[in-house]
Structure 1
Amino acid sequence: MARTRQWIAVLALAASLPAHAGLFDDTEARKELMRMREDYNARLQALEASSRAQLDLANQIEALKAEVARLRGDVELLGHTMESVQKRQKDFYVDLDERLRRLETGAGPAGPVDPAAESADYESALNLLKGGKYGDAAAAFDAFVAKYPSSSFLPSAHFWAGSAALQAKDINRASEHFNAVVNQWPDDPRAPDALLGVANCQRALGERKLEQKTLQGVIERYPDSAAAKSAKQRLGG
């Protein structure tokens, strides 16, 4: 009887073992699933953070590029302004020296000229050009040339008048001004660029052979100038 009870207890224990094992396996599977889900979420969050960081970096790079471009433009404008200031100072002293020589020799201009008004008129025309008002600028420089025929600003005035007229698509008028600089003041610092301006006018008129000849003339007459470098590039040399 006692042995029978023992066998019943053993059988009951054996019958209960699979149920406990199944319960243990299901719990472990859930734990593993939760661990995998947490790992996946962590990786997803890391990927999203990395993507945001890359996007922020790309935006910063683009912002820096824009800032560099803006600063480069400011530097170029400053350089142009400094060049204009230096040129005006040089022109002023040359004009002053010329006026003194005229006084010493007893020769004088046809009428009194106010240097301040002369400089102001020149500056006004130049500001129109800088502001993109090319037609108005060309007219203002024309007026300056007519009003101050003995001005030391004349080479620059003709050059800028040609540049303004070229931008305004008045090609013939631009060519006249550029040629005036080349023919009357061939040693002026503006002369190389003026001759290059003549070539630009010829290109605008479709005169390609004349343009190439003029470009070659820039190289031969002003070999060390920036205009000569541009001419070489355009000729493919």
Structure 2
Amino acid sequence: MPAVCRICLILALAVPLPATAQLFGGNSTELAAQVQALRQKVDALDVRLLKLEGLIQQNQELLGLLKEVETLKADVAKMRGQGEMQAHQIDTLGKRQNDLYVDLDQRLGELAKAAKPAPAPAPPPVAAAPQAPAADVPAPSGPPPTPAAQQLDPLVESRTYEAALNHFREANYAGAIAGFKGFLKAYPDSALAPNAQYWIGYSYYALKDYKTALAHQQKLVAAYPGSAKVPDALLNIATNQIALDNLDAAKKTLEDLVSKHPGTNAATLASRRLAALK
């Protein structure tokens, strides 16, 4: 009897298995395969979603970078406009400064011309003394005086200087250089010689020949250390040194200008440039 009951129990447990397999559409092996395939698809979708999220994040960073680039472009354009305005203002100030220098030089020329004493009148003719016989008159010794040894006409001197200055005023810098060099050759001891030397250097600076301009202004400082043009020459020396990217030398020149020539307009400008270079 116990053996029959055991067989009936086994048959009762075996009956639901086919119904369960039919309920899930097949055997358990096929179901497991489908579940595995679904898991693989879900994993693949997860990978794709992660990639998409990464791309979206990268695109957002790129968009942020593009916005920053556009902002920088706008800032650069604004700064460029400000730079052009400042360059125009500097050119305008430079022209005004040149006009002031020209006016000052003209006044100095007039003062120098007015300070020249008028030539002494020729002495009245004296009755000739009786001449000795020709045989007893000694022959003059030495050559006759040359025109250079004679007194130079101050009016011609002033006109020569003003002609060279007019070339500079008209922005004919090559003509100004030639004119002032000719003036220095003809009138090396003139009161206007330091001014002529200064305008030679400044004309080379206007032509952007900074090395030659620097050499001529240094020549002025060495040859005419007591001239009123020395502070302006030192300022132009520093300007040329800056143009030649020699900032250390420019700072030294500006410091010397401020310390040795305080109270001058050139020293005031030098102080401003030193503050800008720091």
| TM-score, with structure 1 as normaliser | 0.58
The partner residue of 1:89 within 110, 123, 143 is 110
Instruction: Read off the aligned partner of 2:112 and give its amino acid letter.
Output: D
Find the counterpart in structure 2 of residue 185 from structure 1.
224
Q: 2:270 aligned with 1:226, yes or no?
A: no
User: Which structure has the larger Rg over C-alpha atoms?
Assistant: 2
Q: 2:173 aligned with 1:138, yes or no?
A: no
User: How many residues are paired up?
Assistant: 157
CA distance in 2 between counterparts of 1:209 and 1:195 reads 15
The partner residue of 2:242 within 203, 206, 209 is 203
Instruction: Read off the aligned partner of 1:87 and give its amino acid letter.
Output: L
CA distance in 1 between counterparts of 2:102 and 2:185 reads 25
CA distance in 1 between counterparts of 2:187 and 2:158 reads 10
Q: Cα offset for 1:210?
A: 0.5
Instruction: Read off the aligned partner of 2:234 and give its amino acid letter.
Output: L
1:139-182: CA deviations, max 9, x gaps?
21112111211211101100111111111122232223212322
- Where do residues 72-151 of structure 1 align in structure 2 (5 Å cutoff)? 82-93=103-114, 96=116, 110-151=149-190
CA distance in 1 between counterparts of 2:189 and 2:244 reads 32
CA distance in 2 between counterparts of 1:129 and 1:78 reads 10
CA distance in 2 between counterparts of 1:110 and 1:117 reads 16
Find the counterpart in structure 2 of residue 152 from structure 1.
191
**Cα distance change, pair 167–77 in 1 and its aligned pair in 2 (3 A):** closer
CA distance in 2 between counterparts of 1:137 and 1:236 reads 33
Instruction: Read off the aligned partner of 2:175 and give its amino acid letter.
Output: D
CA distance in 2 between counterparts of 1:234 and 1:171 reads 18
CA distance in 1 between counterparts of 2:99 and 2:207 reads 25
Q: Any conservation in 1 of the 2:105–2:195 contact (CA below 8 Å)?
A: no
Task: Report the secondary structure of 2:171's partner residue.
Answer: coil
1:191-230: CA deviations, max 9, x gaps?
1001111111211222111011001011011011111111
CA distance in 2 between counterparts of 1:170 and 1:79 reads 23
Q: RMSD over aligned Cα, in angstroms?
A: 3.1
1:27-75: CA deviations, max 9, x gaps?
xxxxxxxxxxxxxxxxxxxxxxxxxxxxxxxxxxxxxxxxxxxxx9xx9
- Could you list the structure 1 runs, at least 4 aligned residues long, displaced by more than 6 angstroms after superposition: 75-78
Find the counterpart in structure 2 of residue 4 from structure 1.
none
Q: Cα offset for 1:88?
A: 1.2
Q: Matched residues, percent identical?
A: 30
Instruction: Read off the aligned partner of 1:84 and give its amino acid letter.
Output: D
Q: Any conservation in 1 of the 2:258–2:267 contact (CA below 8 Å)?
A: yes
**Cα distance change, pair 230–83 in 1 and its aligned pair in 2 (3 A):** same
CA distance in 2 between counterparts of 1:164 and 1:76 reads 14
**Cα distance change, pair 225–142 in 1 and its aligned pair in 2 (3 A):** same
**Cα distance change, pair 110–169 in 1 and its aligned pair in 2 (3 A):** farther
Q: Any conservation in 1 of the 2:113–2:155 contact (CA below 8 Å)?
A: no
For structure 1, the 5+ residue unaligned runs are 1-71, 101-108
